[in-house]
Structure 1
C-alpha cells in the first residue's frame, strides 16, 4: 500500500515587511529594538521580509542581516521587487538570503511614488497589503498633528482562523464571530470580539492608552494595549471563558467582568 511521504502545495502566508531607509547596521538595530520594546512578545521570533527599495547606496548586507537577526527577528527573505540596484541584489544573493518576488502588477507603480508625497488612503481596504511596521512608522509621522481623523469601525462577520491577521487602521475593530488560536487582531482603536477569543488582540497600536478590548468569551493567547501586555498564563482563571473588559490603568492591564 502506497504511503504519502510529502506534498508540495501553494499556500498563502502573512509576513511582515521591514522597509529600510538607512544602510547603517547599528542604526537599524537600535530602531528595531526601540520598536520591539512596545510589544516584545508580539515581535519575538517574528518572521519578516526585508524591503531595501529605499537603499540607494551600497549596503553591507551581512552586517545588516546580523543586526536585524540579533534583535530576535528572523529574516526569511528579501523583497526582490523592492530594489532596482542589481549590485545590491547580487550582494544579497551571494550571502544565500532568499530573494522573493510578488506577482502584484501595481507594485512598481506604487513604489515609484515619493515617500514624502504619500498620503494615507481613506479607503481602509487599501492598507491591507502594507506591513504593520510600515503603517506604524506612518502613524508616528502623523502623531505630531493635532487632529487625527478616525474612521468608522471595521466589522468582520467571518471567523478569524489561525495564521490570519486583521488590522483596523485608525478605527475600532469588531469581530462578530470566533477568533482561533494563532490569529492576530490589531487595531488603532478598541477591539470587540463577540465570539470565542483564543488568539492575540493588540489594541491602541498607535499608542492610544485609552483604548480597550472587549471579549465575549476570553481565552486569549495575548492581550495588549498601547504596548503593555498580558500573556495567557497571566490572565486570572476567574476571567477565562467569561465576558470581560480589558483596559489600561497606570501602565498595567486590568480585566473586569462584564455584567
Structure 2
C-alpha cells in the first residue's frame, strides 16, 4: 500500500484559486529583430527583475499586420532571455486564434467579458482600488526586510517599520509604506490597482512599480533620491513627489 493511501490522500491534486503577479507586455507591432533589440534594452535596465518572469502579451493597442504576428518567434525570443510567455490578453478573433495555435492561454482584454480589474471603467476601478486599501487588513512587517526576502500581500497594503535592503522585494495589491530606506524593489498594485501608491522615508530603490508601470534606479536618481517621497501613477506615468514634513 502506498504512503498516500495510508495518509488518507485519495486524489493526486487539488485546484485552488491563486493570486499571481504577472507582467504585461503591450505590443504595438511585431518585427522579430526589433523586438529582440528592444527586449535586450529593457532587460539591461533591470536584469534581476526580468529573469524567469511570467509574461502576458497585451494586444489591445496592436496596430501591426496580423500576418507578421508570429507567436512562435516571439515566444522563442523571450525564452532565450529567460522570460516565459504564458498567454495573450485581448486581440481580435484572428489574433487569438494564432495565440491558441501557439498553445498560449487567452485572457480577456478591455471591454471583454471577464476582463481583469485593471480594465474596468475608470470610476469603478478607482472605487474598487480604494476599497482594497481600506477594507483589506494591512500586513505589518516589524523587522528589516533583508536581501533575498520577498514579502507578498495579494489582498491589501504592506507596512514595513524598517529598511528594505537591496535584493529584497515587496509586492502588494494595495499601497506600500516603508518607514526607512527603500533600497530593494517595491511593486504596489500588483492586481492592477492603479490608485496604489508607494511611500518611503528614503528613496534608494532598485525598482519601483505601480500596476505594472515601473522605474529603475537610474530613472529615479534625478528626482527625490534619498528623500522621503510618494510614488503614484498619473496618466500611465510614474510620478515621484516629496512627502510634506509639516
Task: Give the TM-score normalised by structure 1.
Answer: 0.49
Equivalence for 1:57: none
Number of the residue aligned with 1:225: 210
Distance 1:141 1:155 in 2: 31
Other-structure match for 2:52: 46
TM-score normalised according to structure 2 size: 0.51
- Indicate conservation of the 8 Å contact 1:36/1:43, yes or no: no
Query: In the alignment, is the contact (CA less than 8 A) between 1:220 and 1:232 conserved in 2?
Result: yes
2 CA distance for matches of 1:174 and 1:191? 6
Residues 245 and 255 in structure 1, CA contact (< 8 A), matched pair in contact too: yes
CA contact 2:165–2:182 (8 Å) conserved in 1: yes
Structure 1 residue ranges, 4+ long, deviating more than 3 angstroms after superposition: 38-43, 66-69, 140-150
Is 1:206–2:194 an aligned residue pair? Answer: no
SS at match of 1:70: helix
- Work out whether 1:159 is the aligned partner of 2:144: yes
Instruction: State which of 17, 25, 37 in structure 2 corresponds to 1:37.
Output: 25
Match of 2:79 in 1: 70
The CA deviation at 1:193 is: 0.2
User: What secondary structure, in the 3-state scheme, does the structure 2 residue paired with 1:37 have?
Assistant: strand
Question: Quick check: 1:191–1:214 contact (8 Å CA) kept in 2?
Answer: yes
Distance 1:214 1:242 in 2: 11
Counterparts of 1:68 and 1:165, CA distance in 2: 28
Structure 1 residue 74: Cα displacement: 6.4
Which segments of 5 or more consecutive residues in structure 2 lack a partner in the other structure?
1-21, 27-41, 55-71, 85-113
Paired residue total: 147
| Equivalent runs, 1:3-18 vs 2, <5 Å | none
